[in-house]
């Protein structure tokens, strides 16, 4: 699993890339867990063709927090 931060017109986005299509479901499950853990609704878009998930984030610091939580709780990381 790899995570990247990108920003377009001031709107940040976390890109989560996995190597296996089955791993997408594990990341989705972890995102739902993190959402409950932080009491925050996380929106995300899944691209099954590219094996990636994009999550809108406010800024780079929110991206780093999400990245740490994924690394702590996701089996794919």
Q: Are 77 and 70 in contact (CB under 8 A)?
A: yes
* Encoded tokens for 47: 């691209």
The predicted structure's pLDDT at residue 5: 97
Cα 59 to Cα 51: distance, rounded to the nearest angstrom: 23
Q: Are strands 52-57 and 11-17 parallel, antiparallel or unpaired?
A: antiparallel
Q: Are 3 and 28 in contact (CB under 8 A)?
A: no
pTM of the model: 0.89
Q: Evaluate if residue 61 carries a pLDDT over 90.
A: yes
Question: Nearest Cα to 5, choosing from 75, 45, 58, 46?
Answer: 58
């Amino acid at each position: 699993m790899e995570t990247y931060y990108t920003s377009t017109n001031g709107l940040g986005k976390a890109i989560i890339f996995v190597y296996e299509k089955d791993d997408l479901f594990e990341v989705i499950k972890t995102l739902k867990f993190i959402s409950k853990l932080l009491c925050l609704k996380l929106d995300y878009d899944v691209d099954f063709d590219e094996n990636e998930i994009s999550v809108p984030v406010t800024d780079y610091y929110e991206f780093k927090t999400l990245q740490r939580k994924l690394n702590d709780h996701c089996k794919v990381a």
